[in-house]
Structure 1
Amino acid sequence: MSDMKTRIYLDNAATTKTSQEVVDAMLPYFTENYGNASSIYEVGQRSKEAITTAREDIAKVLGAKTEEIYFTAGGSEADNWALKAAFEAYSKKGNHIITTKIEHHAILHTCEYLEKKGAEITYLDVDENGLVNLDELQKAIRPETILISIMFANNEIGTIEPVKEIGMIAKEHGVLFHTDAVQAFGQVPIDVDEMNIDMLSSSAHKINGPKGIGFLYIRKGVKIRSFVHGGAQERKRRAGTENVPGIVGYGVAAKRAAETMEVRTAKERELRDYFIDRVLKEIPYVKLNGDPVKRLPNNINLSFRFVEGESLLIMLDMKGIAASSGSACTSGSLDPSHVLLAIGLPHEIAHGSLRLTLGEDTTKEDLDYTLEQLKEIIGKLRDLSPLYEDFVKKQNK
């Protein structure tokens, strides 16, 4: 085992460290201002005011109206709400939804559920960089199309989709446009009006906020019913006592992400490109996945031939490096990632994938150390691979 001093966290797309500023802002809402925001006495009203402030701060980041932000328990709930409620509310118009093959499972599994309820779903292909073809999107729209749901940026390969153009196409055809912006919010500038976005999902723990809190932006005028029935919280659209500390934390995290975005993402981009450059030069038989330019500032996704992703992750962990694989093998499934297969990678290469996602604390030294360990580990794993041995023999003939 590595000495525990070396602990390099490169899985910020999975979750981020809650920033101290966020924790400090949340603490009073557990102990002093613990009132229920629906109560009329002062301690309850303090909670209510805190929720309003957070809602305003988040709305500003998106160029949205305060009353268009609805708090949820996270990104998955927001995705479920957007799809299920739109399908229900617009059933008189039609039953057709357009999405892509590289969406997060919160979208894909919801679509599968809706298919059982009579929805017709078109799953668009993407190109080898993970980008949606706008002509194919145009062609997929039918008179009964009620919703287009396409992610803002992909969580595995980091590709940023042409959201503004998708929004324009949706608007021209009178179709609702939802985007899962869980990876993009706070990482890239988003303006819901300029981009013609009708609904947008986000989650606090991706931007140094707490876990268990997210929001769904719903444009005013969009007919979406309540998702959780009960009391009158969230303007009667999502019942349940508000998670006040979480909401406060999200407000602070969103404001902080917006204020630091330019400097932080410039630094992440520089480190990202430095690392990608070195890997491609110093390790043979490796491929960068995702668009080289239109990608999230902090995302690196690489496939190493003749290497198994799970072994790679375990060996990196033994060296004190937390990363994730492009394949879902570590979560009990032996299938390679649906995203990597959708961009055309063969199974054996998709299995040898590694996703590194940088955070605001990542340093050049962290990446240099990671690269040295990676070179050593890839060397060891390839030495054990009969496929690699055969390949080298063929090359030397």
Structure 2
Amino acid sequence: MKAAATYLDHNATSPLRPAARSAVLAALEVCGNASSVHGFGRKARGLLDDARQDLAHLFGAGSGQLVFTSGATEANNQALLTAKQGPILLSAGEHDSLLQSCADAEIIPLCENGLVDLEWLAARLSRKPTPAMVSVMLVNNETGVVQPLEDVVALAKSVGALVHCDAVQAAGKLRLSFSELGVDLLSLSAHKIGGPAGCGLLIQRDGLSVTPLVRGGGQERRRRAGTENLIGIVGFAAAAREAEQGRQDAMDRLGAWRQAFEDAVLAEAPEAVIYGDGAPRVANTICLGVPRLPAETQVMAMDLAGFAVSAGSACSSGKVTPSHVLRAMGVEPDAAASAIRISLGWNSQAEDLPRFLKAWLALYDRSRAAA
């Protein structure tokens, strides 16, 4: 089997950025626990504090508002614990780390274009019982649709509900300022922006009491026990700095490539569908569907052709499952099972999408001929 040579799955994880790699290698040379008072510990604490300050600045928060976690899944789980009493409202497009962690949550429907149904939300918030929390992601990981978070915040705050936002797919693609977003809690992940896996962040507003998910130590101001992942944290900060420095130019470039690709696809395969088209989307994400061509077939064929893409949501076993996001958008099951996600990133090249298109159209033509 030919190994994938062109990586087009950055929304799953993005390759380690050079700056992050250098920061990680330097941190590996540091022997010390940041909680120790001797010189070795103070050196580790200095690196940790510097990274915390950098990330706070980059994401528009105070350093004391940051809680380092093992990833966004943990951050999302901890955010849910903040809703002490009352219902929790989750959008239908949320990540499974939220949907599967709150089985009794009320689900905010999505419109056909992938945006949350604000009319439904307003009507629900006008009724009792008042929700304790509303959680809506900023950017959907499958379609790239950017949610109207400002409107969600205004509606939720009008009834005193907390607002949590999973901003994992927004980092490095949109300007993020915790203070300006107006949310109470924000989740982020290092490896989605070219940092190391195993490091995440929960940002909380001042004065909010957050229940620890991991207990047994005084780290992170007693909000998350356990020795901090110094290597991951300094890599996270380095990746975030690099991502923000070139963010606008990168998104302009990726957006132009994405548009040219989508135009070419629809010209050659008129029955194809770009999910989320017509709604605001981040520049790097394409959710492409074509009738009667299973997503699993497309992923396998493209892998053999040397391209790494994804389909639906991959569970821990690696099996492809139907997209709950597309189903929530009203897409029929067969159509949802024929959608793949192509996601670009910091090291994508101009020729990647044209080369992928050539291979994909060959598969498309074969499937039409065999029909």
> With structure 1 as the length reference, what TM-score do the two structures score?
0.89
Deviation at 1:335, TM superposition (A): 4.6
Match of 2:8 in 1: 10
Alignment-mate amino acid for residue 15 of structure 2: K
Q: Deviations over 1:191-249 (max 9, x none)?
A: 22222111000100000100000000011111212221111100011000111010100
Q: CA RMSD in A?
A: 1.7
Alignment-mate amino acid for residue 20 of structure 1: P
**Out of 142, 147, 154, which is 1:156 matched to?**
142
Match of 1:395 in 2: none
Residues 11, 141 of structure 2: 8 Å contact kept: yes
The percent of aligned pairs where both chains have the same amino acid is 37
Match of 2:93 in 1: 102
**Given the alignment of the two structures, is residue 179 of structure 1 paired with residue 140 of structure 2, yes or no?**
no
Deviation at 1:333, TM superposition (A): 5.4
Deviates more, 1:124-133 or 1:163-172: 163-172
Name the count of aligned residue pairs.
369
Deviation at 1:330, TM superposition (A): 9.9
Match of 1:86 in 2: 82
**Out of 41, 53, 74, which is 2:38 matched to?**
41
Match of 2:303 in 1: 317
Residues 326, 336 of structure 1: 8 Å contact kept: yes
Match of 2:67 in 1: 70
Q: Distance in 2 between matches of 1:330 and 1:59?
A: 32
Deviation at 1:291, TM superposition (A): 3.8
Match of 1:271 in 2: 257
Alignment-mate amino acid for residue 116 of structure 2: V
**Out of 221, 225, 239, which is 1:253 matched to?**
239
Residues 113, 279 of structure 2: 8 Å contact kept: no
Q: Structure 1: state its 5+ residue gaps.
A: 116-120, 386-397
CA pair 330-375 structure 1, distance change in 2 beyond 3 A: farther
Alignment-mate amino acid for residue 268 of structure 2: E
- Greater share of residues in helix: 1
Please state whether the residue corresponding to 1:86 is helix, strand or coil. Answer: coil
Match of 2:287 in 1: 301
Match of 1:212 in 2: 198
Alignment-mate amino acid for residue 246 of structure 1: G
Deviation at 1:149, TM superposition (A): 0.5
CA pair 157-122 structure 1, distance change in 2 beyond 3 A: same
CA pair 11-278 structure 1, distance change in 2 beyond 3 A: same
Deviates more, 1:206-215 or 1:168-177: 168-177
- What does 1:338-357 correspond to in 2, within 5 Å? 338-357=324-343
Please state whether the residue corresponding to 1:145 is helix, strand or coil. Answer: coil
**Out of 25, 28, 31, which is 1:30 matched to?**
28
**Out of 292, 304, 307, which is 2:278 matched to?**
292
Residues 114, 279 of structure 2: 8 Å contact kept: no
Give the 4+ runs in structure 1 shifted more than 4 A.
327-335
Alignment-mate amino acid for residue 99 of structure 1: L
CA pair 264-209 structure 1, distance change in 2 beyond 3 A: same
Match of 1:389 in 2: none
Residues 286, 343 of structure 2: 8 Å contact kept: yes
Match of 1:122 in 2: 106
Match of 1:56 in 2: 53
Alignment-mate amino acid for residue 275 of structure 1: F
> With structure 2 as the length reference, what TM-score do the two structures score?
0.95
Larger radius of gyration: 1
**Out of 351, 356, 367, which is 2:353 matched to?**
367
CA pair 206-329 structure 1, distance change in 2 beyond 3 A: closer
Alignment-mate amino acid for residue 28 of structure 1: A
Deviation at 1:250, TM superposition (A): 0.6
Q: Distance in 1 between matches of 2:221 and 2:144?
A: 34
Deviation at 1:358, TM superposition (A): 0.5
Match of 1:390 in 2: none
Alignment-mate amino acid for residue 106 of structure 2: T
Deviates more, 1:218-227 or 1:33-42: 218-227
Q: Distance in 1 between matches of 2:254 and 2:280?
A: 14
Q: Distance in 2 between matches of 1:289 and 1:270?
A: 18
Alignment-mate amino acid for residue 44 of structure 1: G
Residues 130, 159 of structure 2: 8 Å contact kept: no
Residues 180, 201 of structure 1: 8 Å contact kept: yes
Residues 89, 134 of structure 2: 8 Å contact kept: yes
